Amino acid sequence: MIRVGIVGATGYGGRELIRLLALHPDAKLVAAASTSAAGERLESVMPAFRKLSDVVFESFDAKALTDKCDAVFIAVPGRESMRIGADLREAGARVLDLGGDFRLKDPTAFAKYYKTEHTATHLLPECVYGLPPFYRIKLKTTQLVSVPGCYPISAIFPLRPLLDHVSTSIPIVIDSISGISGAGRTLNEAYHFPEMNENLKAYKLGVHQHIPEIEQEIGHRAMVQFTPHVAPLTRGILTTITFRPDAAVDPAAAYRCYEAEPFVRVLPSGELPEVKNVRASNFCDIGWAMDERTGNLLLVSAIDNLMGGTAGMGVQCLNIMFGLEETAGLLYGGMAP
């Protein structure tokens, strides 16, 4: 039984992780650090877990967590995991970061998009980007995983097998729609229920921090024009990608690389993904359409941002790191309805 710890367990990523670990056959939550809740019982702070956990929150202590855990997840707000990750690595822990601090290999890009200097650049070379289809071998032995961002997961999966066919001169247009849990638990008038219910909006046009992450993972093959939107639902991301391919592209053939992937599902020709089919699951569903009239190829993907887009992806990485069955604790079907 792999002993798991979490730093920052009360945010939405942390909660989802706790939920998944409760049903994991080979891993178990044994420690949770929280600044605000230290000393309190987890089930009192999060009543959804009553009768499921006897964990008591503790203050963050890298050494103590490292001693009692085989792996430690970091689920703190952006720009705080650099420090916590460095402390944990220093203490010798195997670390999986659900935040964005270790995703960009280029500290300059980090500084530009995250508006702060990176304080743990020494860890970037050893850090593995936690997208199993492309980094599975490295994940087996790494001590530090950076779990990808939710929007990038939804974009990289459909794009990566087609990179050889992407025009390098025209930016790839990526329009994503996300549920509100992606914005986290922090109160914000924009996400007060009466403000966001029955609402739609776009935000961070051209400046979202997931832009350099996507471009890094498509090998800087082309620039991406990424526009995130929010819609009135809690979970899920739908991403539509438009680009001009070369004439020879055959998406069905290119996507055969995913046939053996347990959590990437390429739909039959003519079918398109919907969030409901991946809700509360670890799957990424992919569909596509070629528009002969315009010459564009359209890709559509769907994920659950908290599970396939954060905590489930983290557990999949954990399973690989510790030699467990890769799908252990993750075989949830889409919760439809």
# residues contacting its own copies (CB under 8 A): 92
**What is the Cα–Cα distance from 162 to 253, expressed in whole angstroms?**
10
Is position 150 annotated as part of the catalytic site? yes
What is the CA angle 143-74-264, rounded to 5? 75
CB 223 to its own copies: min, Å = 5
Q: What's CA 219's distance to the chain center, in Å?
A: 19
Nearer CB in complex with its own copies: 81/277: 277
Q: Is 247 among the residues that bind its own copies (CB under 8 A)?
A: no
Q: Is 191 among the residues that bind its own copies (CB under 8 A)?
A: yes
Contact region for its own copies (CB under 8 A) — 91-99, 113-121, 148-156, 280-288? 280-288
Q: Which residue, among 97, 103, 66, 104, has the nearest Cα to 83 in the 3D structure? A: 97
DSSP string, 240-272: EEEE-B-TT--HHHHGGGGTT-SSEEEPPTT--
Q: Is 77 among the residues that bind its own copies (CB under 8 A)?
A: no
Q: Is 106 among the residues that bind its own copies (CB under 8 A)?
A: no
Provide the 10 A C-beta neighbour count for residue 42: 22
Q: Is 54 among the residues that bind its own copies (CB under 8 A)?
A: no
Nearer CB in complex with its own copies: 54/189: 189
Q: Which residue, among 293, 291, 20, has the nearest Cα to 147 in the 3D structure? A: 20
Q: Indicate the SS3 state at residue 64.
A: helix
Q: What residues between 258 and 277 interact with its own copies by CB under 8 A?
A: 262-263, 265, 267, 271-277
Q: Is 15 among the residues that bind its own copies (CB under 8 A)?
A: yes
**What is the Cα–Cα distance from 127 to 135, expressed in whole angstroms?**
11
Single out the catalytic residue among 69, 127, 150, 284.
150
Nearer CB in complex with its own copies: 17/86: 17
Contact region for its own copies (CB under 8 A) — 49-57, 68-76, 131-139, 144-152? 49-57
Among 185, 245, 249, 322, binds its own copies (CB under 8 A): 185
**What is the Cα–Cα distance from 232 to 200, expressed in whole angstroms?**
7
Q: Is 195 among the residues that bind its own copies (CB under 8 A)?
A: yes
CB 336 to its own copies: min, Å = 4
Q: Is 165 among the residues that bind its own copies (CB under 8 A)?
A: no
Q: Which residue, among 207, 189, 30, has the nearest Cα to 114 in the 3D structure? A: 207
**Would you give the end-to-end CA distance of the chain in angstroms?**
33
**What is the Cα–Cα distance from 311 to 9, expressed in whole angstroms?**
12
Q: Is 278 among the residues that bind its own copies (CB under 8 A)?
A: yes
CB 132 to its own copies: min, Å = 15
Among 6, 46, 124, 313, binds its own copies (CB under 8 A): 46
CB 220 to its own copies: min, Å = 13
Amino acid present at 280: A
Provide the 10 A C-beta neighbour count for residue 23: 12
Nearer CB in complex with its own copies: 129/332: 332
Q: Is 122 among the residues that bind its own copies (CB under 8 A)?
A: no
Q: Is 232 among the residues that bind its own copies (CB under 8 A)?
A: yes
Q: Is 115 among the residues that bind its own copies (CB under 8 A)?
A: no
Enumerate the β-bridge partners of residue 97.
74, 146
Contact region for its own copies (CB under 8 A) — 63-71, 99-107, 132-140, 222-230? 222-230
Amino acid present at 98: L
> Are 308 and 178 contacting, i.e. CB atoms less than 8 angstroms apart?
no
Q: What residues between 286 and 315 interact with its own copies by CB under 8 A?
A: 289, 291, 293-296, 298, 300, 302, 306
**What is the Cα–Cα distance from 320 to 326, expressed in whole angstroms?**
6
Q: Is 12 among the residues that bind its own copies (CB under 8 A)?
A: yes
Torsion sign (Cα): 178, 183, 189, 192: positive
Catalytic residues: 150
